[in-house]
A and B are shown apart, each in its own frame.
Chain A
């Protein structure tokens, strides 16, 4: 079955540590996205990639980094520079990055900083 997967489902991190969240899709989609979800704030765009080897900052990119070396994979690294990283992280993909392309979401990763 085609879909988008994220791992792990739950992640705990000590302050000062970098951590990488995985996102994989087998939908043959060109575009991929990372969002952060906080209670009462909706989804905010961290980074997005329209094509392999290219990515753009979203609205809240500070303290995060990404790579897009393969079409199927768009990992997100939460660095120690991110001051408030505890949140629910959602990855999404779409066929292209056109305005009418539906975004398909993964199940999310809940990151907690101890």
Chain B
């Protein structure tokens, strides 16, 4: 199958860490991405990780990849109200026809 799954909602308090999880089914994926979507807007690429990496850190963002369990996570340190948005994970692969597959999105709500 080609499903990318995420939980729909996450609520955290300002200043806490947020962890958004994603599971994917296709082991042939080469790149895994995290996108952010603010209300009524398009998607903005936050970060990505190549499938031969386990971890990538970029300022407040940490991406962890567990290839064995096909599990990807995005940790946001010191979460701020401006981080409230929908977060999508996506995988890309080249099995036959190249394509992106997006997850269902996780709506993060940051409470002041």
Contact = CB atoms under 8 A, between A and B. Distances in A.
Q: Do A and B come from one complex?
A: yes
Interface of A: 4, 6, 35, 40-45, 56, 58, 90, 92, 97-100, 102-108, 110
A56 B97 contact: yes
Nearest to B88: A42
A104 B42 CA distance: 9
B27 to A, nearest CB: 15
Contacts of B10: none
A85 B87 CA distance: 24
A41 to B, nearest CB: 6
Give the interface size bracket for B toward A.
20 to 34
19 contacts: A35-B102, A40-B8, A40-B105, A41-B104, A42-B104, A44-B102, A58-B99, A92-B42, A99-B30, A99-B94, A99-B98, A100-B30, A104-B45, A105-B44, A106-B42, A107-B40, A107-B42, A108-B41, A108-B42
B75 interface: no
